[in-house]
């Protein structure tokens, strides 16, 4: 049982893109990688066999906030951790709950000690402190666990952002201390990733990166982006963070994004991504395909008996037709949610796999530039 390792296989000449491999106690992850979001221990509308066989997911996310509220740490501990509970035996990453506490929970109060908030399920009051969150992430038992941070809202002023960032740094130290004082619960190693904040202020981002880098963690994350800022800011600050974060550690850009966001992120030096977009938008009938974006509800697809997408290998995307999926969406069939989610996730995993192949082949940048145009096309 060993700490997470990261191996660089190839770096692109014309961009900051890199291909690598992360090794955890639950197996390997080839990077760049996209991580499907399994909020309560289930990637919405998708089962674990489909995640492996159709989507080819290598790692999934769990949300600490949700798992803490339901099923709760006592159930997760009784099961022997989330891997045993949901039957996913490949790597898992858990966020710290910080983002959900700010975006989902009822009246919350942020103090130096931590955040008090109300459950969105039953209104009950809870405290998330760095120590408490580390304990919860221990109980969940993910391979990669995120530090507790405040995700500064876009539009926060300089002063608020600086103070928030400094508290996030102090919280990080408390997370590290707590982990040092506690043991892995299930016999395998859990690895802490700290999170860079600083919103859209270059000097704060730089300071945050330097602070985070000084902790010498096995991997690092960029938080506080994809929270409403314009796309050029997303790219500008992703690039800035990648410049200051260690070269030899995986970089995780949290909550990003569209297929083209992901390709641009890879070009800027990001190795890991997660986002609810493929599942959430899929459930609303928006499909990302090798030819561009499809609104499957449109009349245009009513008699289109071609596969959802034949541009890559996926049983769901290759087997079911656009006309059938459109019909299922219009009939509000549950199967529509399943097929659209599987397709979109399989497409995301295919896309990052292609990026990796092109990095290794040495033609990533030209491929990426062509692909971004194609991906944005509205069909």
Are 145 and 175 contacting, i.e. CB atoms less than 8 angstroms apart?
no
Pairing of strands 125-128, 115-118: antiparallel
Figure out which of the listed residues 10, 21, 84, 108 binds a copy of itself, where binding follows CB under 8 A: 84
Figure out which of the listed residues 48, 116, 119, 354 binds a copy of itself, where binding follows CB under 8 A: 48
CB 208 to a copy of itself: min, Å: 34
Q: Is residue 57 at the binding interface for a copy of itself, with CB under 8 A as the rule?
A: no
Figure out which of the listed residues 2, 75, 127, 373 binds a copy of itself, where binding follows CB under 8 A: 75
Q: Is residue 324 at the binding interface for a copy of itself, with CB under 8 A as the rule?
A: yes
Which residues are known binding-site members for substrate?
Answer: 95-99, 149, 197, 224
Figure out which of the listed residues 107, 159, 181, 334 binds a copy of itself, where binding follows CB under 8 A: 334
Q: Is residue 111 at the binding interface for a copy of itself, with CB under 8 A as the rule?
A: no
CB 85 to a copy of itself: min, Å: 6
Q: Is residue 68 at the binding interface for a copy of itself, with CB under 8 A as the rule?
A: no
End-to-end, the C-alpha distance of the chain in Å comes to 48
Q: Is residue 65 at the binding interface for a copy of itself, with CB under 8 A as the rule?
A: no
Residue 353 vs residues 51, 64, 264: alpha-carbon distances, Å:
15, 28, 15
Q: How many residues bind a copy of itself (CB under 8 A)?
A: 39
| Segment interacting with a copy of itself, rule: CB under 8 A, options 39-47, 158-166, 194-202, 270-278 | 39-47
Buried b / exposed e over 168-183, threshold 16 CB at 10 Å, is bbebbebbbebbeeee
Are 24 and 219 contacting, i.e. CB atoms less than 8 angstroms apart?
no
Please state the φ and ψ torsions of residue 92, each to the nearest 5 degrees.
-130, 145
Residue 348's nearest CA partner among 49, 17, 32 is: 32
Q: How far apart are CA 24 and CA 2, in angstroms?
A: 7
Figure out which of the listed residues 339, 340, 349, 371 binds a copy of itself, where binding follows CB under 8 A: 339
Q: Is residue 313 at the binding interface for a copy of itself, with CB under 8 A as the rule?
A: no
Q: Is residue 159 at the binding interface for a copy of itself, with CB under 8 A as the rule?
A: no
CB 51 to a copy of itself: min, Å: 11
Q: How far apart are CA 226 and CA 148, in angstroms?
A: 18
Q: Is residue 301 at the binding interface for a copy of itself, with CB under 8 A as the rule?
A: no
Figure out which of the listed residues 13, 284, 319, 373 binds a copy of itself, where binding follows CB under 8 A: 319
Nearer to a copy of itself, 107 or 331 (CB): 331
Please state the φ and ψ torsions of residue 152, each to the nearest 5 degrees.
-65, 125
Q: Is residue 207 at the binding interface for a copy of itself, with CB under 8 A as the rule?
A: no
Q: How far apart are CA 51 and CA 59, in angstroms?
A: 10
Are 89 and 83 contacting, i.e. CB atoms less than 8 angstroms apart?
yes
Catalytic site residues? 95, 274
Q: How far apart are CA 148 and CA 98, in angstroms?
A: 6
Figure out which of the listed residues 44, 322, 358, 368 binds a copy of itself, where binding follows CB under 8 A: 44
Nearer to a copy of itself, 257 or 307 (CB): 307
Residue 243's nearest CA partner among 200, 208, 199, 206 is: 206
Residue 33 vs residues 44, 59, 125, 265, 377: alpha-carbon distances, Å:
19, 8, 36, 11, 23
Figure out which of the listed residues 136, 245, 263, 337 binds a copy of itself, where binding follows CB under 8 A: 337
Q: Is residue 40 at the binding interface for a copy of itself, with CB under 8 A as the rule?
A: yes
Nearer to a copy of itself, 203 or 302 (CB): 302
HEC string for 294-311? EECCCHHHCCCCCECCCC
Which residues are known binding-site members?
Answer: 95-99, 149, 197, 224
Say which DSSP state 146 is in: E
Are 307 and 71 contacting, i.e. CB atoms less than 8 angstroms apart?
no
Nearer to a copy of itself, 1 or 334 (CB): 334
Figure out which of the listed residues 7, 302, 357, 370 binds a copy of itself, where binding follows CB under 8 A: 302
CB 333 to a copy of itself: min, Å: 5
Residues 6+ apart with CB under 8 A from 188: 1, 24, 25, 26, 141, 143
List of residues contacting a copy of itself (CB under 8 A)? 40-42, 44-49, 66, 70-71, 75, 78-79, 84-87, 302-303, 305, 315-316, 319-321, 323-324, 327-328, 330-331, 333-335, 337-339
């Amino acid at each position: 049982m060993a700490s997470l390792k990261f191996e660089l296989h190839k770096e692109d000449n014309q961009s900051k893109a890199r291909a690598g491999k992360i090794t955890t106690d639950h197996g390997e992850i080839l990077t760049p990688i996209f991580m499907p979001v399994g909020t309560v221990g289930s990637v919405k509308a998708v089962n674990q066999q489909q995640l492996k066989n159709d989507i080819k997911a290598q790692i999934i996310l769990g949300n600490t906030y949700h798992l803490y509220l339901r099923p709760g740490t006592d159930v997760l501990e009784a099961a022997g951790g989330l891997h045993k509970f949901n039957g996913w035996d490949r790597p898992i990453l858990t966020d710290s709950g910080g983002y959900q506490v700010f975006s989902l929970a009822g009246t919350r109060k942020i103090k130096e000690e931590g955040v008090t908030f109300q459950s969105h399920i039953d209104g009950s009051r809870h405290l998330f402190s760095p120590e408490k969150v580390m304990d919860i992430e221990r109980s969940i038992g993910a391979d990669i666990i995120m530090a507790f941070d405040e995700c500064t809202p876009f539009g926060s002023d300089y002063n608020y952002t600086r103070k928030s960032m400094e508290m996030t740094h102090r919280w990080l130290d408390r997370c590290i201390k707590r982990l040092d004082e506690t043991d892995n619960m299930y016999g395998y190693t859990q690895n802490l990733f700290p999170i860079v904040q600083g919103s859209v202020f270059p000097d704060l981002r730089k300071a945050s990166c330097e602070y985070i880098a000084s902790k010498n963690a096995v991997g690092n994350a960029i938080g506080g982006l994809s929270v409403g800022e314009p796309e050029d800011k997303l790219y500008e600050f992703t690039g800035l963070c990648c410049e200051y974060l260690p070269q030899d550690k995986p970089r995780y850009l949290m909550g990003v994004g569209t297929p083209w966001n992901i390709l641009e992120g890879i070009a800027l030096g990001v190795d890991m991504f997660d986002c609810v977009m493929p599942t959430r938008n899929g459930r609303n009938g928006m499909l990302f395909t090798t030819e561009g974006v499809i609104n499957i509800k449109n009349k245009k697809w009513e008699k289109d008996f071609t596969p959802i997408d034949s541009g890559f290998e996926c049983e769901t995307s290759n087997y079911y037709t656009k006309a059938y999926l459109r019909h299922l969406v219009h009939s509000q069939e549950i199967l529509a949610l399943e097929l659209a989610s599987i397709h979109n996730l399989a497409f995301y995993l295919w896309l990052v796999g292609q990026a990796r192949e092109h990095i290794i082949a040495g033609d990533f940048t030209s491929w990426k530039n062509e692909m971004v145009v194609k991906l944005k096309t509205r069909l």
